Amino acid sequence: MGNIIQLAWLVPLFPLIGFLINGLGRRSLSKGAISFIGSGAILASFIVSIMIVLQVKSPGFTASQGVLKMFDFISVDKLIIPFAFQIDQLSSLFLLIITGVGFLIHVYSTSYMHDEESEHFGRYFAYLNLFVFSMLLLVMGGNFVIMFIGWEGVGLCSYLLIGFWFKNSDYNDAAKKAFVMNRIGDFGFLLAVFWIIAKVGSVDFSTVFAAAQSLSKTDITIITLLLFVGAAGKSAQIPLYTWLPDAMAGPTPVSALIHAATMVTAGIYMIARSNILYSLAPITQTVVAVTGLVTAVFAATIALQQNDIKKVLAYSTVSQLGYMFLGLGVGAYTGAVFHVMTHAFFKALLFLGAGSVIHAMHSEQDIRNMGGLKKQMPVTHITFLLGCLAIAGVPPFSGFFSKDEILAGAFSVNPVYYYIGVAGALMTAFYMFRLYAMTFTGTFRGTHEQEHHLHESPVAITFPLIVLAVLAAIAGFAGLPEVFVENGHALEHFLAPIFAESAKLKHANHLDHTTEITLMVSVTVLILITIIYAWIRFSRYRKTEADTKGLARVLENKWYVDEIYNAAIVRPLNAFSGLLNRVVEKVLIDGLVNGVGKSIQYGSRQLRLLQSGQVGSYILLMVLSILAFFALVFFTKK
């Protein structure tokens, strides 16, 4: 089928065109046309992506074929940064996830957003296409700079879409918070890129990774730590995670696409892409693993006590991202990428399911006011249940395999990681089934008005749910553990070239099969017990007016992290800037600037007097000047 990789630039081009058409034509195009263009662009990219993956999978493919240089983007002295794409196993897999899930969410949005005015409908799809474009740029970039363009682009789109309903100032605050938090991370990323330029003199992935071995330990540790700051910002890790739950202010499909399936996994992608750097920096690896683990458990505890259906999912996303970082930190790169993939499916599914519920409940998001929805919404119910089973890690659904691989990797490095990780996994099972049970089982607790209008969502909403549910159920079979099937891990074989260098550095520390199976079975049993407990307990849930107490109250208030940040960082910063404003700005700077301005005006008024209008005085002045010049030339010593 020819060399489709040469046409890889088409993949980001389609969404860009879609963005331009929908963005410019949002006032004149009909909703049908906007939906068609918006979704069609992503579908076209998806089709090209499939062909690319097939090409990459074919035996003749080598890494050098995948580098696609378009033109020189920046060329200063010795530093040449080409606008280049890099297509390989890792990026093509992400292409598939982004365009595939992206397409489904576009389709879903055509129905979900249908009540918006036509202009805003167009704006929504334009932003969404721009997001996909940026995300594709991030993933396809052949060097850190192109990646950074995409990196900033997705941050911008995230900001625009969180604040999509810009008339609500809370939503705008959430958007700003996301932007600022992301910028903190981006700053780390930028510093890392500068450091790389200073030490390596190039930002091309291939050059940098080839030079990694020769970099000093300090350099590589600093670079990887700075990159990790960037990753922590984008992928919502402690301490930069607080924006993600607030990001739920955006439309639900946005939460599904950007804040669950794709953008937030950018940090994982970046570290997986730079895996060789991390494998050479054991200190950073420990930092990554511990941060991931702490985030995973910490976010899970918060999720236990949330009552907003989207907030539960948001904290669960933070928690799952923590697992992915744990995987990266312990060198289980394939496991992390695997979990990105399965998570994309089931978390998108869960968010879209939640959207379907919210849609049916007329924007009600509090699960205390739901219950018993399974009768009215059978498709949403079944697909949501599948999603819950997948994320909880029940075999044979996808989450089980990917999470197991990460945990197994953690066990081989440090069993303590493993036990804490399992505790988090049990919490995951608990809060997910609390969510499920409170929403779909028991009796309806909402108003009569809501009950009257309850209905299953239209096909444009249920179709993506079904597709994602199927994927969430079966995607795990792409990576069967060795204990079950010899050579069953198709994904590992596919990604092997990416992680080959790191694999060489890694000490062969495989678990023996008996231990692995024992661990697997015992965890599964624990998870099943937790699920049954949560299910039984919360299907009998009754609304109470009583406030929560003790630890539950702390959890409900998210460990008061926002308040702590506010008191420890935001307020001192505001006070300090107020001080600067009053003293430095008003007195010193303004005084200086205005003083210069005034003295120039004064000088102008005086100099003007030279221009007397008298030819005689002009000529006199000129003659004097000529004499002065003569004196200068003849009577001064050299």
3-state SS track over 284-349: HHHHHHHHHHHHHHHHHHHHHCCCEHHHHHHHHHHHHHHHHHHHHHCCCHHHHHHHHHHHHHHHHH
Task: Give yes or no for residue 593 binding another protein (CB under 8 A).
Answer: no
Per CB under 8 A, does 1 bind another protein?
no
Answer yes or no whether residue 613 interacts with another protein by CB under 8 A.
Answer: yes
Residue 610 interacting with another protein (CB under 8 A): yes
- Sorted by sequence, the CB contacts under 8 Å of residue 634 that are 6+ apart come out as none
573 is an interface residue for another protein by CB under 8 A? no
Do 315 and 302 form a contact (C-beta atoms < 8 A)?
yes
Write down the least CB distance from residue 596 to another protein, Å: 9
Which CB sits closer to another protein, 532 or 631? 631
Q: Which is nearer to another protein, 59 or 616 (CB)?
A: 616
Quote the least distance from Cβ 602 to another protein, whole Å.
9
In one-letter notation, the amino acid at residue 212 is A
Q: Is there binding between residue 627 and another protein (CB under 8 A)? A: no
H or E segment at 81?
A: strand 79-86
Our finding on whether 636 is near another protein (CB under 8 A) is yes
Contact 98, 15 (CB under 8 A): no
Shortest distance (Å) from residue 599 CB to another protein: 10
Nearest to 257 by CA among 133, 91, 405: 133
CB-nearer residue toward another protein: 452 or 605: 605
Binding of residue 76 to another protein (CB under 8 A): no
Strand partners, 79: 76
376: exposed, middle or buried (Cβ count in 10 Å: 0-12, 13-18, 19+): middle
Q: How far apart, in whole angstroms, are the C-alpha atoms of residue 104 and residue 98?
A: 10
Shortest Å, Cβ 597 to another protein = 7
For another protein, the closer of residues 550 and 613 by Cβ is 613
Kindly state whether residue 608 participates in binding another protein, applying the rule CB under 8 A: yes
Decide: is 487 part of the binding site for another protein (CB under 8 A). no
The span from the CA of 186 to the CA of 366, in Å, is 34
- 71 lies in the site for another protein, by CB under 8 A: no
Comparing CB distances to another protein, the nearer of 490 and 600 is 600
Q: Which two tokens stand for residue 565?
A: 């940040």
**Cα–Cα separations (whole angstroms), residue 50 to 1, 44, 488, 610, 623:** 12, 10, 22, 78, 83
Pick one of 572, 578, 595, 597: the residue that binds another protein (CB under 8 A): 597
Q: Is 625 in the site for another protein (CB under 8 A)?
A: yes
Secondary structure (DSSP) of 482-514: TTTSTT--HHHHHHHHHHHHHHHHS---PPPHH
Instruction: Pick the stretch among 140-148, 191-199, 336-344, 616-624 that binds another protein (CB under 8 A).
Output: 616-624
- Binding to another protein by residue 611, rule CB under 8 A? yes
| Pick 283 or 619: Cβ nearer another protein | 619
C-alpha 588/C-alpha 581 separation (Å) is 10
Closer residue to another protein in complex, CB, 567/621:
621
Does position 578 interact with another protein (CB under 8 A)? The reply is no
- Containing 136, the helix (H) or strand (E) segment is helix 118-140
Report in angstroms how near the CB of residue 196 gets to another protein at its nearest. 28
Given the complex with another protein, which of 1 and 632 has the nearer CB atom? 632
Distances, alpha carbon 370 to alpha carbons 303, 361, 386, 543, 568, in Å: 18, 8, 19, 10, 37
Is 347 in contact with 313 (CB distance < 8 Å)?
Answer: yes
Q: How many residues bind another protein (CB under 8 A)?
A: 25
Using CB under 8 A, pick the residue from 115, 169, 549, 634 that binds another protein. Answer: 634
The piece of 206-214, 330-338, 574-582, 607-615 that touches another protein (CB under 8 A) is 607-615
Kindly state whether residue 595 participates in binding another protein, applying the rule CB under 8 A: no
Torsion of CA 424, 429, 434, 435, to 10 degrees: 90
Between CA 356 and CA 108 the distance in angstroms is: 10
Query: Of the listed pieces 407-415, 536-544, 578-586, 597-605, which binds another protein according to CB under 8 A?
Result: 597-605
Q: Restricting to residues 249-308, which ones interact with another protein according to CB under 8 A?
A: none
In the complex, minimum distance from the CB of residue 611 to another protein, in angstroms, rounded to a whole number: 6
Q: Which residues of 170-198 are buried (b: 16+ CB within 10 A; e: fewer)?
A: ebbebbebbbebbeebbebbbbbbebbbe
Q: How far is the CB of 581 from another protein (least distance, A)?
A: 24
Among 419, 484, 560, 629, binds another protein (CB under 8 A): 629
Distance CA 504, CA 351 (A): 39
Asked if 632 touches another protein (CB under 8 A), the answer is: yes
Residues that bind another protein (CB under 8 A): 597, 600-601, 603-605, 607-608, 610-611, 613, 615, 618-619, 621-622, 625-626, 629-630, 632-634, 636, 638
